[in-house]
Amino acid sequence: MRFIPLIVARPEVQMAIDEAIMRARIEGKVEDTVRLYVFKPSSITIGRFQSIEHDVNLERCREL
């Protein structure tokens, strides 16, 4: 298993890195990977089966 140290970057960059790692893993090009990251600016990711209305506290998001 490999570990990628903390990366601070824009949300779209973080998601692109995740996708690249996933594709490389599926193709057997990299081993299982753990990575830590921080979105800058702050952001929220919503999964395919999640709902903004049900899974995100929008009022709190607006406060931030």
CA dihedral 58, 60, 63, 64 (to 10 degrees): -100
Contacting residues for 30 by C-beta, under 8 A, at least 6 apart:
2, 21, 24
Q: Which two tokens stand for residue 57?
A: 């506290």
pLDDT of 17 reads 97
Domain that holds residue 13: 2-63
> What pTM was computed for the model?
0.78
pLDDT of 64 reads 82
pLDDT of 28 reads 98
The tens place of each residue's pLDDT in the chain, 64 residues long, gives 999 999 999 999 999 999 999 999 999 999 999 999 999 999 999 999 999 999 999 999 999 8
Which three-class secondary structure state does DSSP give residue 64?
A: coil
Q: How many domains does the chain have?
A: 1
